[in-house]
Amino acid sequence: MVQLRKTQSRVQADEWLLVLSSESIPYSIEKDETGWVIYVDGVNTEKAENLLDQYTRENREWLSEEEHTGGSKIILSALIVSAALVGIYLLMKWSETSGRWYQVGSASAEHIVSGEWWRTVTALFLHANLPHVLSNAAFCWLFCSAVVRLYGTGLGWFLILASGAFGNLLTAYVYRAGHLSVGASTALFGAAGLLGVWRFSAGRKVIFLKKRAWVYLAAVVALMAFLGVGERVDLVGHLSGGVAGCVFGYFSNRLFRGPIPKSWQLVLVCVDLCAVLFAGFSAISCL
């Protein structure tokens, strides 16, 4: 057996093994003091090397630079947003005017259709009760950190926020009246849609993953269906968020062929913050 690749990451090693398995290339893996070592037969060395090179070049070209720096910024940004959701809920809970905040910030279909656009954003930060906000904060860390890992901090959160806002807008125009909702779920389902479309697009680019590309999209749809069913669940809102995520994911994958520059990531972070603050101040003006 000849040494093929070596990595300190077990996740990376498992990814390479999956690629080798897809082409039925025999391998073995061992762990030493410096990391994980993958071996293949000498006759398959060139084929395996070319296969992994193709995978790295075509399937992982979209990954942001933060993927290769340990992801500390990704984890931190997801934790900040999750903590912000919980913090805003507690602030609303203790505020004497919390009822008024929900009146001007919730996703009321009638008010959104009438032009109160900020509700599509502010509703994402309001939650009905503690279990609601805690579950959304947990799924925010799970789904949103994965999106940011792929797209980068600025573009990732921009797409998540846009998916949530557009999902609420679409829901409002479906109902037009008599519908009221709060919570980050719409954006979280948007994040799930972004993940599914990205993985589908990546799979379609790589020859040995093409036949499995639909599996990733189907898996996201199944997950969305599982999480979106239950008593008092806004099915239309969840579906709208997922559809918005798929649409934004498709066009972003078509528009950007690789990670956008760090300077643009920073610009989009500022755009995200400004959009949230502007929506919040617009709601405050109605108090």
Predicted local confidence at residue 69, as pLDDT: 41
Q: Which of 162, 179, 161 is nearest to 237 (CA)?
A: 179
The answer to whether residues 132 and 266 belong to one domain is yes
The answer to whether residues 12 and 115 belong to one domain is no
Q: Is the dihedral of CA 188, 192, 193, 197 positive or negative?
A: positive
Read off the pLDDT of residues 220-257 as tens digits, 9 standing for 90 and up. 555 555 555 545 667 888 889 989 999 999 898 888 76
CATH of residue 42's domain is 3.30.70.1530
Q: Tell me how crowded residue 4 is: count the other CB atoms within 10 A of its CB.
A: 21
Cα–Cα distances in Å, from 274 out to 65, 151, 178, 262, 281?
24, 20, 30, 18, 10
Helix (H/G/I), strand (E/B), else coil: 38: strand
The answer to whether residues 82 and 22 belong to one domain is no
The answer to whether residues 92 and 39 belong to one domain is no
Q: Tell me the pLDDT of the chain averaged across its residues.
A: 81
Angle (CA) 26 28 34, round 5°: 145
Question: What global pTM score does this model have?
Answer: 0.74
The answer to whether residues 43 and 133 belong to one domain is no
Predicted local confidence at residue 258, as pLDDT: 62
- pLDDT band for position 67 (50/70/90)? very low
- pLDDT band for position 89 (50/70/90)? very high
The answer to whether residues 159 and 196 belong to one domain is yes
The answer to whether residues 273 and 144 belong to one domain is yes
Helix (H/G/I), strand (E/B), else coil: 63: coil
- Across 74-91, average pLDDT: 89
- Across 20-48, average pLDDT: 86
pLDDT of residue 163 exceeding 90, the answer is yes
Helix (H/G/I), strand (E/B), else coil: 234: coil
Q: Is residue 41 domain-resident? A: yes
The answer to whether residues 101 and 239 belong to one domain is yes
- Across 186-197, average pLDDT: 88
Predicted local confidence at residue 234, as pLDDT: 75
The answer to whether residues 92 and 220 belong to one domain is yes
The answer to whether residues 139 and 268 belong to one domain is yes
The answer to whether residues 173 and 225 belong to one domain is yes
Name the residue with tokens 């410096």. Answer: 34
Q: Sheet of 2-7: strands edge to edge?
A: 2-7, 35-40, 27-32
- pLDDT band for position 66 (50/70/90)? very low
Best mean pLDDT range from 93-97, 121-125, 153-157, 228-232: 121-125
Q: Which two tokens stand for residue 86?
A: 């919980």
- Across 109-126, average pLDDT: 94
State the total domains in the chain.
2
**Full residue range of the structural domain in which residue 158 is found:** 69-284
Phi-psi label, residue 178: left if phi above 0, alpha if psi -120 to 50, beta otherwise: left
Predicted local confidence at residue 133, as pLDDT: 92
Q: Is residue 79 domain-resident? A: yes
The answer to whether residues 104 and 244 belong to one domain is yes
pLDDT of residue 55 exceeding 80, the answer is no
Q: Is residue 179 domain-resident? A: yes
Q: Is residue 156 domain-resident? A: yes
pLDDT of residue 208 exceeding 50, the answer is no
Predicted local confidence at residue 146, as pLDDT: 82
- pLDDT band for position 77 (50/70/90)? confident
